[in-house]
């Protein structure tokens, strides 16, 4: 069903990246500027991520011997140094996820560029190098995002949903690797219910929610695709859910043929295969449209 599967390292059937967006309480401060500090229950729920879940997640990764990617708003890097130090000491990648989870589509080009570079500066200070990848907060990839990422020297984006395997975004500024996922791989529809975030949904049981991700994995394994989880520590990092997540990872290991990798490693692998002629990735040219596509009125209306 995938017409152009990449050649994964060591003959693996699929690539797996368990990425976490550690937004912490940036979401409440952004959405409720006037009274965010008074929403104590919501703050405690989101602070559970860096304070409780991150050590739990890192312990699992250590036992499995894998390195993964965390997308973290720069504000969270500044405010949760203990979690950041633990992530870096374990050899994981930190990707750009906005400054305080701001919406790039709600900004003009200049404002989006300002927050992008402010976040880059924070990540450089914390990690010693520029971020290699970006995920738009809440998938809000704007008309300008690809150009800005390419100009800033990013190697990949992980915001879009246009394929089952890595592909290339091409603009007048150049190109960047796209590592796609989709809402079916996001834990919000399964596990998040929060009045302070204006997101009220039925909550799946830990096992039923994880069944969604397991079925996605089985399809990607069968057809040699790319499986990227878009999870959040305060949600999937909760005890019952993480227990089910560990069982899913064990299933992946027992099935075999799985390449667990950081997104920067997957992007580098795709570029290496392209350079050697081993793989021809699909190219998607942006922007899709140069003006709004509006219906015109018929003369008789």
Residue 300 has pLDDT above 80, yes or no: no
Q: What is the CA radius of gyration of the chain?
A: 19
Query: What is the model's pLDDT at position 301?
Result: 58
b/e for 152-167, b at 16 or more Cβ within 10 A?
bebbbbbbbeebbbbb
Contact residues for 149 (Cβ-Cβ < 8 A; gap 6+) = 116, 134, 157, 176
Q: How far apart are alpha carbons 34 and 51 in whole angstroms?
A: 25
User: Is residue 299 very low, low, confident or very high in pLDDT (cuts 50, 70, 90)?
Assistant: low
Q: What is the pLDDT of residues 100-115, one digit of tens each?
A: 999 999 989 999 999 9
Q: What is the mean pLDDT of residues 12-38?
A: 95
Query: What is the model's pLDDT at position 229?
Result: 98
Query: What is the model's pLDDT at position 178?
Result: 98
Query: What is the model's pLDDT at position 287?
Result: 96
Query: What is the model's pLDDT at position 197?
Result: 87
Q: How far apart are alpha carbons 61 and 64 in whole angstroms?
A: 5
What angle separates helix 206-223 from helix 239-255, to the nearest 10 degrees?
Answer: 20
Query: What is the model's pLDDT at position 109?
Result: 96
Query: What is the model's pLDDT at position 52?
Result: 98
Q: How far apart are alpha carbons 22 and 28 in whole angstroms?
A: 13
Q: What is the mean pLDDT of residues 79-98?
A: 98
Q: What letter would DSSP give residue 298?
A: P
Within 33-155, where are the H helices?
Answer: 40-48, 54-64, 74-79, 81-89, 109-127, 145-151
Q: How far apart are alpha carbons 45 and 24 in whole angstroms?
A: 9
Q: What is the pLDDT of residues 154-171, one digit of tens each?
A: 999 999 999 999 999 999
Q: What is the pLDDT of residues 254-297, one digit of tens each?
A: 999 999 999 999 999 999 999 999 999 999 999 999 998 887 77
Q: Domain spanning 11-285: which CATH class is it, in words?
A: alpha beta
pTM of the model: 0.96
Q: What is the mean pLDDT of residues 10-37?
A: 95
- What does pLDDT average to over the chain? 96
Q: What is the pLDDT of residues 216-258, one digit of tens each?
A: 999 999 999 999 999 999 999 999 999 999 999 999 999 999 9
Query: What is the model's pLDDT at position 295?
Result: 79
Q: What letter would DSSP give residue 69?
A: E
């Amino acid at each position: 069903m995938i017409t152009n599967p990449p050649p994964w390292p060591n003959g693996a059937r699929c690539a797996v990246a368990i990425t976490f967006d550690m937004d912490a309480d940036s979401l409440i401060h952004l959405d409720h500027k006037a009274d965010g500090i008074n929403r104590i229950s919501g703050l405690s729920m989101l602070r559970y991520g860096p304070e409780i879940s991150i050590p739990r997640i890192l312990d699992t990764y250590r036992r499995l011997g894998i390195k993964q990617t965390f997308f973290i708003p720069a504000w969270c890097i500044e405010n949760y140094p203990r979690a950041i130090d633990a992530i870096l000491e374990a050899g994981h990648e930190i990707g750009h996820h906005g400054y305080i989870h701001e919406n790039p589509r709600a900004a003009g080009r200049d404002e989006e560029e300002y927050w992008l570079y402010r976040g880059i500066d924070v990540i450089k200070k914390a990690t010693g190098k520029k971020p290699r990848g970006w995920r738009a907060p809440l998938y809000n990839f704007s008309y300008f995002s690809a150009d800005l990422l390419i100009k800033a020297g990013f190697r990949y984006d992980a915001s879009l949903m246009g394929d089952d395997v890595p592909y290339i975004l091409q603009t007048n500024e150049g190109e960047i690797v796209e590592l796609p996922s989709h809402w079916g791989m996001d834990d919000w529809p399964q596990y998040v219910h929060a009045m302070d975030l204006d997101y009220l949904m039925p909550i799946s049981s830990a096992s039923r929610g994880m069944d969604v991700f397991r079925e996605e994995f089985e399809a990607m394994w069968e057809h040699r695709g790319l499986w990227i989880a878009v999870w959040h520590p305060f949600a999937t990092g909760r005890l019952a859910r993480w227990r089910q997540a560990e069982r899913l990872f064990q299933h992946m290991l027992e099935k075999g043929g799985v390449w667990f990798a950081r997104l920067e490693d997957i992007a580098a692998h795709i570029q290496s295969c392209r350079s050697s002629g081993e793989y021809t990735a699909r190219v998607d040219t942006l922007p899709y449209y140069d003006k709004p596509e509006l219906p015109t009125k018929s003369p008789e209306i």
